[in-house]
Structure 1
Amino acid sequence: MKIAKKIFKYILYFLLIPVTYIIISLILSVITIDRKANDENFNKSIYLSTNGVHLDIVIPKEDIDSLVLSGMKHSETENYLSFGWGDENFYLNTPTWGDLTFSNAFKAMFLKSSTLMHVTRYKQKRTDWIEIKVNEFELQKLNTYLFSTFQSDENGMKILLKNKGYSPTDDFYKSKGSFSCFNTCNSWVNRGFKESGLKSSLWTPFDFGLLNKYK
């Protein structure tokens, strides 16, 4: 009987950790950091894109800083670029949710690992993107944030992983930082918005944390 009680106690403790994480995450996701700019000329557009779990930042190519574009694959007919950040092992070994394994998920959430920037190129705007009007200063701050995330080689060039994209229109580049349950792909996007002076969550690991601010 004592053994059964101990087992039950351990199970309870084990379940308490993810439940506490979810509750705190939801609370912090709801708390809004207001936009810094007021009554500005919001004449530029950026977009949020989601696959239902993972957020990307989408920017018209004409509004992407030359430093961000430098060394990046793109063609004249591709007018929009989306930027997503995440765990390298998860990105490369889980191209679809059907490929998800417990091992890959556990490594991404709890073990220190290298990360990648996932860049996808589009010829035209998609109807499911959420448009956000920004001013020149906010756009430049966001470009600076993107540039600072890319990892560079000894010559200052972006490090492309050749032939690792999911399709002919996307690529992976080495990036800075380590993914964890406290530093997710979505918290990376949210932090970029926060540093750019845009409306954001206090912190969120979920895509809906930021999406709900702009719907």
Structure 2
Amino acid sequence: MAAQANPALNLAKRLALRALAGLAILVLLFFLAAWIGSSIPRNGNWEEPADGVEIMVETNGVHTAIVMPLVTPQKDWRIDFPASDLVDPTRPYTHVSVSWGEREVFLNTPSWADLTLPTAVGAMIGGDGLLHVSHYVRPAPSEDARPLTITQAQYARLIAAIEREIVPPPARTSYPGYESYDVFYDAPGTYHLGQTCNQWTSDTLAEAGIETGWWTPMAGGVMKWVPANQ
């Protein structure tokens, strides 16, 4: 019996090794495609103006978001994202950070250590969208929060792109954020491997006419288009 079992065991080992090798190749191809795709520019003729509206593109190393003034003559974000939705609504907020992502990942992973394999696989296959909105008080530029000046016309286009992602307050559900100054909202769209949170950031910037990468599933693909220490 032992002699008969060895060939079957060896076959199982070979199949497992081939499966792992195939998975490793797929992962490498994904990262290669992401590097190539994020290096292809959109709005390649864009130049940062000397004057205009200063926004920021921020990252935590995995996820990216767009930071904007809370109130300008063009837009008062307090109407769409009232401070009353926050745990701490009383601080003198000056900016709002907006990003989009997958519902289960956003709501069930307050830290990346909480991310489980089923949640990650579910997000890659396809999950409901959710907006993450944080309110800041005079955010300081840094390596992970890079300022970018855009024209008034470009900011108007950025506003319009983000407004399309906003479910009107009476029709949406809000969910507690990770801190006292952030909140989640229902949002349209389906998250999947081809439409990630970082792709949403670059698509939104590109729609405003700002130079960014073509396919940016990872945060680095977004941030490499925003110079640090301007």
Tell me which interval the TM-score lies in, with the shorter structure as reference length. Answer: 0.7 to 0.9
SS in 1 for 2:224: helix
State whether residues 118 and 170 of structure 1, in contact with CA within 8 Å, keep that contact through their aligned partners in structure 2: yes
Where in structure 2 are the equivalents of 1:34-183 lying within 5 Å?
A: 34-35=43-44, 37=46, 42-63=51-72, 65-66=75-76, 68-74=77-83, 77-110=92-125, 112-128=126-142, 129-152=145-168, 157=170, 159-162=172-175, 164-183=176-195
Q: Judging changes above 3 Å, is the alpha-carbon distance between structure 1 residues 73 and 24 closer, same or farther for their aligned structure 2 residues?
A: same
Q: Judging changes above 3 Å, is the alpha-carbon distance between structure 1 residues 143 and 36 closer, same or farther for their aligned structure 2 residues?
A: farther
Counterpart amino acid of residue 146 in structure 1: I
SS in 2 for 1:27: helix
Work out the CA distance in 1 between the residues paired with 2:50 and 2:67: 20
State whether residues 193 and 217 of structure 2, in contact with CA within 8 Å, keep that contact through their aligned partners in structure 1: yes
SS in 1 for 2:141: coil
The number of aligned residues is: 209
State whether residues 36 and 198 of structure 1, in contact with CA within 8 Å, keep that contact through their aligned partners in structure 2: no
Out of 21, 27, 33, which is 1:18 matched to? 27
State whether residues 150 and 158 of structure 1, in contact with CA within 8 Å, keep that contact through their aligned partners in structure 2: no
Where in structure 2 are the equivalents of 1:195-210 lying within 5 Å?
A: 195-210=207-222
Query: Could you say what the CA RMSD is over the residues aligned between the two structures, in angstroms?
Result: 2.3
Alpha-carbon distance, 1:103 to partner: 1.5
1:214 maps onto 2:226 in alignment: yes
Structure 1 gaps of 5+ residues are none
Q: Judging changes above 3 Å, is the alpha-carbon distance between structure 1 residues 23 and 61 closer, same or farther for their aligned structure 2 residues?
A: same
SS in 2 for 1:142: helix
Alpha-carbon distance, 1:73 to partner: 1.8
